[in-house]
A and B are shown apart, each in its own frame.
Chain A
Amino acid sequence: MALSAEESGRLAGLLTSHDDQVTQRWTEIVTGSLRGRLSQAELRRQVQELHRAIVTVSEQGDLDLESERAAELRAVLAELSQGRARQGFSATETAVSVFALKEVLLELLDAEQNPTALRDYVAFSSLIDEMGLFTFESFVRTRESLIADQAEQLLELSTPVVKLWEGVVAVPLVGTLDSARAQVVMERLLQTLVDTGSPYAIIDITGVPAVDTQVAQHILKTVVAARLMGADCIISGIRPQIAQTIVALGIEFGDIATKASLADALRHVLRLTGVETSRRASRREA
């Protein structure tokens, strides 16, 4: 899709001879498409930068977006789409900033009445398409890295291990439990058991929206690992629907204690450890 030296020369000529007109019209089209979410001055700056990059590279002979010489142009495009992705614009709104150049060029070529206009327009157009695709790719890449970062932050946030009683810790699981999270939960729980010397752990799954065989597998592994280390695990917070799903899927928890609520689980552990709780006689009754 590269432009020949002649074509890129004509492109450079076209863009430089109508410098102000091009940036003016280009900025107008982009501003319209973004519905005023970016200031005119900001857009003008971006358009000018892009314009300058295209002119620079097209003046040097034949133009291929993949080539070494077009590195600066690619950098400008990448920067533009990264900025758009971070500011929350859609992929279309990002690509329009590049595709608007087509319209501008068509108007210019129309005005010139050049016999080679049609051929040039097709060549320019395919170059701009390529630039548009490149923009789109960088946009997606930026978005993906944003999502990965957020997933990592979520992972750090969502696995607290809390101490409920002397020798009793609890892990309130919230959200879907995938392999990566299950691993983090397991490691953190086991480490806490060692650090605090707690022989009992309660895994509360009230906040887990669905329990399938995979989630059950992760929980079972954690329980077995804790047992190997000499601590006992109790699973609590099993909601009625989840109990039905577990039975329907044929998941066996074996001899692992399961309780309906965290309170039941704590009471169970306290009984095991020989702690007795009693209500103090109310003063009003006395």
Chain B
Amino acid sequence: MERVPILKIGDILLVSIQVDMSDQTAVQLQEDLAERIVATGCHGVVIDITALDIVDSFVGRMLSTIASISKVLDAETVVVGMRPAVAITLVELGLSLHGIRTALNVERGMELIASARADEYAENLDAEPDAETTASP
């Protein structure tokens, strides 16, 4: 079975999907990613789908699930590199990737995560000092 590699860059995990996703690959990726987030204590996940020609409801749901899992583990998920044709198809089909942030490329995605983190800390500084909760085991 093919496995999707997860690379760590600084405070961010980079997942580049290069193969067609099957049920098994998707479940494996979700497990691997959850483990890596906990193990590394990263606060951002960038999923690169530049290589994907087709994004259907299955892949859409997988991305949403990954985003939700990461959110629980206090990591921000950004999907990057969606092709124009894929975006048009998703719109025509009426599928929207709920709760997922998007960016044009990996670089922008990493910037987005950095700025989101900065905003969060700024808010937390304004609020109660103990308002921040982490999901580290």
Asked if A111 lies at the interface with its beta carbon under 8 angstroms from chain B, I say no
* Contact between chains at A227 and B104 (CB < 8 Å): no
* Contact between chains at B104 and A193 (CB < 8 Å): yes
* Contact between chains at B84 and A199 (CB < 8 Å): no
Asked if A275 lies at the interface with its beta carbon under 8 angstroms from chain B, I say no
A190-B102 Cα distance, complex, nearest whole Å: 14
Asked if B25 lies at the interface with its beta carbon under 8 angstroms from chain A, I say no
Asked if B44 lies at the interface with its beta carbon under 8 angstroms from chain A, I say no
Q: A223: nearest residue on chain B (CB-CB)?
A: B91
Question: Quick one: given A193-B104, A198-B104, are A228 and B109 in contact (CB under 8 Å)?
Answer: no
Asked if B82 lies at the interface with its beta carbon under 8 angstroms from chain A, I say yes
CB-CB contacts of A208-234 with B at 8 A, as 1s and 0s? 000000000000010011111111000
* Contact between chains at A230 and B102 (CB < 8 Å): yes
Asked if A191 lies at the interface with its beta carbon under 8 angstroms from chain B, I say yes
Asked if A194 lies at the interface with its beta carbon under 8 angstroms from chain B, I say yes
Asked if A160 lies at the interface with its beta carbon under 8 angstroms from chain B, I say no
Q: Give chain B nearest CB distance to A31 CB in angstroms.
A: 56
Within 8 A of A (CB), among B78-125: 78-80, 82-88, 90-92, 96-97, 101-105, 107-109, 112
* Contact between chains at B87 and A229 (CB < 8 Å): yes
Chain A's interface: helix, strand, loop or mixed, by majority?
helix
* Contact between chains at A194 and B104 (CB < 8 Å): yes
A193-B86 Cα distance, complex, nearest whole Å: 14
* Contact between chains at A228 and B102 (CB < 8 Å): yes
* Contact between chains at A230 and B88 (CB < 8 Å): no
Asked if A187 lies at the interface with its beta carbon under 8 angstroms from chain B, I say yes
Question: B91, B92, B108: which has the most chain A beta carbons within 10 Å?
Answer: B91
* Contact between chains at B82 and A187 (CB < 8 Å): no
Partner of B96, one of A190, A193, A194, A224: A224
A-B contacts, 12 listed (Cβ < 8 Å): A186-B88, A193-B84, A194-B83, A198-B104, A221-B92, A224-B91, A225-B87, A227-B102, A228-B82, A228-B91, A229-B84, A230-B112
Residues of A within 8 A of B (CB): 186-187, 190-191, 193-194, 197-199, 221, 224-231
The 4 closest A-B pairs by CB, nearest first: A190-B84, A230-B102, A230-B103, A225-B87
10 additional A-B residue pairs with CB within 8 Å, beyond A193-B104, A225-B90, A229-B83: A187-B84, A190-B87, A197-B105, A198-B104, A224-B96, A225-B88, A228-B87, A228-B90, A230-B79, A230-B80
